[in-house]
Amino acid sequence: MKRFEALSQSDNRVVINMEESEKRSHLFAKNVFNDEKMLQFLTTEAYKKVQTAIFSGNKIDRKIADQVAEGMKAWALAMGATHYTHWFQPLTGATAEKHDAFFDLMEDGRALEKFGGRQLVQQEPDASSFPSGGIRNTFEARGYTAWDPTSPAFVYKTTLCIPTIFVSYTGEALDNKAPLLRALHAVDQAATDVAQYFDKTVRKVHATLGWEQEYFLIDKALAQSRPDILMTGRTLVGNAAAKGQQLDDHYFGVIPSRVLSFMSALEKQCMVLGIPVKTRHNEVAPNQFELAPVFEEANLSVDHNLLLMDVMDEIADKHGFKVLFHEKPFAGINGSGKHNNWSLATDTGVNLLSPGSTPMKNLQFLTFFINTIKGVDTYEELLRSSIASASNDHRLGANEAPPAILSIFVGKQLSDVLDELEGVSKGKLSPEEKTELKLNVVGKIPEILLDNTDRNRTSPFAFTGNKFEMRGVGSKMNCAKPMTVLNTIVAKQLTDFKKEVDALIDKKSLKKDEAVFNVLREYIKTSKRIRFDGDGYSKDWENEAKKRKLSNNKNTPDALKVLTSKDSLALFAATNVMNGKELVAHQEVELDNYVFHIQIEGRILKELVYNYIIPAAIKYQNLLLENVAGLKEVYGAAHKKITEPQLNILEKIGEHLVAIKKSADRMNEAREKADRFVDIDKKAKEYCDTIQPYFEDIRGNADVLEQLVSDELWPLAKYRELLFVK
């Protein structure tokens, strides 16, 4: 007998009509106010000013802003927009928007569509309820959104969405975009200066990002029967299904028709919004999938990922699904990540992390490659902190995702190259040494990378041919956080590198190539501890990492401590990415988020125990007792042998009922005690060390009861029902 009425869409077929089969290239960016639309709707003067602002960061004056707003309004109205909004990224981790109509009244009472430069460039939404980490008082509602011209506006449904930053009255960042833009500016300046060692025509370097978004799809009707999924995005209880991912039959398997229908609708919506999605496939776990786009400039890529997650929620709902972005929605099977593939590209079209056809181009590659390794080695603990969250703690360190120890995989071939460079003599190079380095070591890099197909899946930060892949980012995380830290680190490292190279040229009279080789040689030596090509899941590596003095922060409260360390404060100040006040605020917000997430999970878990699990178990106990009583009445003294199985089940249910109630009560008492802590650091640590352990105790007893209680009486959709879409 079915206990849940799932949406009966399993027999749907993907019907492709002429409109749906329209070429993706024709649909792409249809709803985006991009370069093509600006050429049509802006004056030549306004167009040139916007392009200059995008390239160099120059401010746009009020006159030009009015012209841009007029053109943007005309385009948006033609696209059917009725409202506009400043689309921003508060520290909640999601996006935010307040819609205003293109509507106003004149003094004589006539109506008109109004949208000017003032509305485009800056707005003042009520900021009182957004997290600020103490930057502003609750009674002070002032917070300002300011237009980001580097990320084009777009029309979604009937609203013109204008990407913006969100800052306080005194200018501190209240969002994730403002620090990212500062970090991208810092890495642009530093990387351009270094790139000009090799090509004087380089005028700009931009960071690129290609994310890989993993997610789960479950039936919406079944999801609505689970309070834990609705409130926390994951299952807090649930016994493993007999079949999970052990056969590896879901990975890259045939995409179910119903899911394919969802994916097709999603991709079409992504195309018109300018999100260049390209790849889709089944992931390892049942009901787990992945999609990935073409690489883009990092700021735009971050915006597109956030927009994608909003669109996925809407499209999934229309197709009778609930999409889960939680890093670990189901115990016992793989969780979801969001691999961040990062590189640097010049305005001349060169990927700085891709080997070239000449020794000089390969020396350029080595320069950026080794500096990235050096930067990550110096600030590995800070980079780890950028991916910390209550939900990602379930994934990091498990045998499915990168460990909490940050290490870098480069592969045997490149390790051999670095070892050879490490052996280069200090100071000036002889003609023979120069020839050996340029031709036999540096010159052969493209050849050795051609067949470098070994990919270490346990490495949190791996070089994969022409980019670094940061694998520890959580599925529901805003990519802006790790991208801000990574680009800040690399910017600082490249700035330091240039100072050292210039000093050797000026003071030691070394030629440029010699100076570069000398500095890189020292970096290879001093950053050797971060390089590791082995099994990141092994206990041996954990012991070895400890010897190398690499951090191993396995939970969020420990990981976030480094945010306000002396080195972190100095790093962000030197690069002008965040000041001390902002760092303290961001740390406090992250700790608050951690506490709130576990607090909500604790409350829902208590509700599940008292309102779902215990009543179901008692009801089944009563049925068994009635059965035993009836058998005793019929069989008399002979009932003992007949009722032994029932009595055994009754005893086991009783044991686990006592245990689960005791754990739930103790958890609730511990939570009430933790909530009395004023200091957020202590409160977060209390939730981590004292309250979370009860979750596993409760789950263990609940999952046993699920197996003991009649399937018909169990009130929660089971894993075997949730995890297999037809």
Say if residue 398's pLDDT is above 80: no
User: Which residues pair with residue 289 across a beta bridge?
Assistant: 215, 282
Across 63-219, the runs of DSSP E, i.e. the strands, are 83-87, 99-101, 104-105, 111-112, 122-123, 143-147, 154-156, 159-168, 205-219
**Residues forming a β-bridge with 351:** 345
Strands 83-87, 159-168: pairing is: parallel
Tokens of 693: 């352990």
Q: 564-572: long-range contacts at Cβ-Cβ below 8 A with a sequence spacing of 24 or more?
A: 567/379, 567/382, 568/379, 568/382, 571/379, 571/382, 571/488, 571/489, 571/492, 572/488
Q: Please report, as a single letter, which amino acid is at residue 353.
A: L
CA–CA separation, 497 and 378 (whole Å): 13
Whether 162 contacts 86, CB under 8 Å: yes
pLDDT score, position 161: 96
Instruction: Write down the pLDDT at residue 1.
Output: 38
> Whole-angstrom distance between the N-terminal and C-terminal Cα of the chain?
19
pLDDT bin (cut points 50, 70, 90) of residue 8 is very low
> What are 99-117's pLDDT values in tens digits?
888 877 666 666 667 777 7
SS3 content of the chain, % helix, strand, coil (to 5): 50, 15, 35
Yes or no: say if 691 and 674 are a contact pair by the CB < 8 Å rule.
yes
Reported as a pLDDT band with limits 50, 70 and 90, residue 402 is confident
Structure token digits, residue 245: 């991912």
The pLDDT score that the predictor gives to residue 11 is: 42
Segment holding 52, helix H or strand E: helix 44-56
Which of 62-71, 154-163, 258-267 is the least confident region? 62-71
CA diameter of the chain? 106
pLDDT for residue 713: 97
Closest of 157, 156, 138, 160 to residue 147, by C-alpha: 160
How far, CA to CA in Å, does 230 sit from each of 96, 222, 227, 600?
A: 20, 10, 5, 11
Residue type at 87 in one-letter notation: W
- CA-only gyration radius of the chain, Å: 29
User: Is pLDDT above 70 for 382?
Assistant: yes
Q: Which of 372, 332, 541 is nearest to 464 (CA)?
A: 372
Classify residue 572 by its DSSP letter. H
The per-residue pLDDT for 17 is: 44
Element (H, E) at 321: strand 321-324
Share of the chain above pLDDT 90, in %: 67
**Secondary element (H or E) of residue 162:** strand 159-168
For the four alpha carbons of 508, 513, 515 and 521, in that order, the dihedral sign comes to negative
Q: Note the pLDDT of residue 138.
A: 53
- Token code pair at residue 598: 């576990």
Per-residue pLDDT band for 452 (boundaries 50, 70, 90) equals low
For residue 470, list its beta bridge partners: 340, 461
More confident residue, 714 or 420: 714
Q: For 462-513, what is each residue's pLDDT tens digit?
A: 998 899 999 999 999 999 999 999 999 999 999 999 999 999 999 888 889 8
* pLDDT(130) > 80: no
- Whether residue 284 contacts residue 721, with contact meaning beta carbons closer than 8 Å, is answered with no
> For 438, which DSSP code?
I
pLDDT band at 575 (very low <50, low <70, confident <90, very high): very high
Residue 412: pLDDT band with limits 50, 70, 90: confident
Q: Give me the phi and psi of 610, to 5 degrees please.
A: -80, -35
Q: In 30-129, at which residue ranges do the beta strands (DSSP E only) sit?
A: 83-87, 99-101, 104-105, 111-112, 122-123
Provide the CA 124 distance to its chain's centre, in angstroms: 28
The token pair at 578 is 């965040």
pLDDT digits (tens, 9 = 90+) for 428-439: 766 766 666 766
Task: Check whether 677 has a pLDDT greater than 80.
Answer: yes
Helices of type H across 171-297: 177-195, 220-223, 227-232, 257-272
pLDDT bin (cut points 50, 70, 90) of residue 422 is confident
Q: Is the pLDDT of residue 680 over 90?
A: yes
Q: For residue 690, what pLDDT is reported?
A: 96
The per-residue pLDDT for 369 is 96
589/114 Cα distance (integer angstroms) = 37
How far is it, in rounded angstroms, from Cα 609 to Cα 227?
A: 12
- Non-local (6+) Cβ contacts of 323 within 8 A are 215, 216, 217, 312, 313, 316
| Contact assessment for residue 57 and residue 143, using Cβ atoms and an 8 Å cutoff | no
What are the tokens at 421?
């460079």
Give the whole-angstrom CA distance, residue 555 versus residue 238: 23
Average pLDDT over residues 441-449: 72
The per-residue DSSP string of 590-614 comes to HHHHHHHHHHHHHHHHHHHIIIIIH
**Structure confidence by residue, pLDDT tens digits, 27-76:** 998 999 999 999 999 999 999 999 988 888 778 888 888 899 999 999 99
- Predicted confidence band at 128 (pLDDT cuts at 50, 70, 90)? low
| Amino acid occupying residue 430 | S
Side chain identity, residue 482? P
Instruction: Render pLDDT for 608-624 as a digit per residue (tens, 0 to 9).
Output: 999 999 999 999 999 99
Q: Residues 196, 199, 201, CA angle at the centre, nearest 5°?
A: 90
Q: Could you tell me the pLDDT band of residue 390, with boundaries at 50, 70 and 90?
A: very high
- Give me the percent of the chain exceeding a pLDDT of 70: 90
454 pLDDT above the threshold of 60: no
Burial class (CB in 10 A: 0-12, 13-18, 19+), 433: middle
Res. 14 pLDDT band, cuts 50 70 90 = very low
Residues 6+ apart with CB under 8 A from 137: none
Q: What is the pLDDT of residues 266-323, one digit of tens each?
A: 999 999 999 999 999 989 999 999 999 999 999 999 999 999 999 999 999 999 999 9
Kindly report the number of other CB atoms within 10 A of residue 403's CB atom.
23
pLDDT, averaged across the chain: 89
What is the pTM (predicted TM-score) of this model? Answer: 0.93
3-state DSSP assignment of residue 675: coil
Q: How far apart are CA 579 and CA 133, in angstroms?
A: 13
Task: With cut-offs at 50, 70 and 90, classify the pLDDT of residue 152.
Answer: very high
pLDDT at 450: 60
- Residue 493 or residue 1, greater confidence: 493
Find out whether 217 and 318 touch, Cβ atoms under 8 Å. no
Query: Is-contact 594 683, C-beta < 8 A?
Result: no
| Whole-angstrom distance, CA of residue 461 vs CA of residue 287 | 27
Task: Kindly state the average pLDDT of the residues 130-138.
Answer: 68
Banded model confidence at residue 122, pLDDT cuts 50, 70, 90: confident
CA distance 637 to 509: 105
DSSP strands (E only) in 351-426? 408-409
Residues recorded for the chain: 726
pLDDT digits (tens, 9 = 90+) for 635-656: 877 777 888 888 999 999 999 9
Kindly report which listed range (391-405, 483-497, 589-603) carries the lowest average pLDDT score: 391-405
Residue 529 pLDDT: 97
Cβ-based burial of 548 (10 A; exposed 0-12, middle 13-18, buried ≥19): middle
Confidence (pLDDT) at 660: 97
Which band of pLDDT confidence, cut at 50, 70 and 90, is reported for residue 7? very low
Confidence of residue 360 (pLDDT cuts 50, 70, 90): confident
What stretch of H or E contains 331?
none
CA–CA dist 444, 153 (Å, integer): 45
**pLDDT for residue 361 is more than 60:** yes
- Average pLDDT for residues 385-396, to the nearest whole number? 94
| pLDDT at residue 169 in the model | 79
Q: pLDDT at position 9, please?
A: 42
Distance CA 510, CA 505 (A): 5
Token pair of 646 as six digits? 């029932």
H or E, element range at 46: helix 44-56
Tell me how far CA of residue 84 lies from CA of 69, 113, 153, in angstroms.
11, 11, 10
CA-wise closest residue to 172 among 608, 588, 650 = 588
